[in-house]
């Protein structure tokens, strides 16, 4: 049973436009959500997180939106740059526990 799902395996976006990466979850006990970026042959790098008490968190070009009623979160990157081309993983955790649950990732390609 996959508790965190990224249903789009890949996404292509023109440079300068907005990239929207989506993530759905099933476990209502999750109260922290994170996005990681992964380049080939490197480990994932933490990008941004959001607590379930918020519905939006922004850091520069990256904004994460959380819709608890829909059990859905999204990562917006604007403007998209070629260097953003990578695999993006969303992850979720319940505070007080240790187990992060990761999605299967979405490969973003930003076209110059």
Q: Assess 93 for contact with other proteins (CB under 8 A).
A: yes
**Binding of other proteins by 12 (CB under 8 A):** no
- Separation of alpha carbons 55 and 91, rounded Å: 16
Binding mask 53-82 for other proteins (x = CB under 8 A): ------------------------------
The Cα–Cα gap between 60 and 81 comes to 13
* Rounded Cα distance, 32 and 24, in Å: 13
Partnered with residue 102 across adjacent β-strands are: 91
Q: Which of 16, 28, 46, 82 binds other proteins (CB under 8 A)?
A: 46
| Residue 28 or 45 with smaller CB distance to other proteins | 45
Examine residue 22 and tell whether it contacts other proteins (CB under 8 A). Answer: no
Short-list 36, 34, 28, 38, CA closest to 3:
28
Residues forming contacts to other proteins in the complex (CB under 8 A) are 4, 6, 31-34, 36, 41-46, 49-51, 89, 91, 93-105
């Amino acid at each position: 049973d996959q508790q965190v799902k990224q249903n789009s395996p890949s996404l292509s976006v023109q440079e300068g436009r907005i990239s929207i990466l989506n993530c759905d979850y099933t476990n209502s006990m999750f109260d922290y959500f994170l996005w990681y970026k992964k380049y080939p042959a490197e480990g994932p790098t933490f990008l941004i997180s959001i607590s379930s008490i918020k519905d939006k968190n922004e850091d520069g070009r990256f904004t994460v939106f959380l819709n608890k009623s829909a059990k859905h979160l999204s990562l917006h990157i604007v403007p998209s740059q070629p260097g953003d081309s990578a695999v993006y993983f969303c992850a979720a955790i319940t505070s007080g526990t240790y187990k992060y649950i990761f999605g299967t990732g979405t490969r973003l390609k930003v076209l110059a």
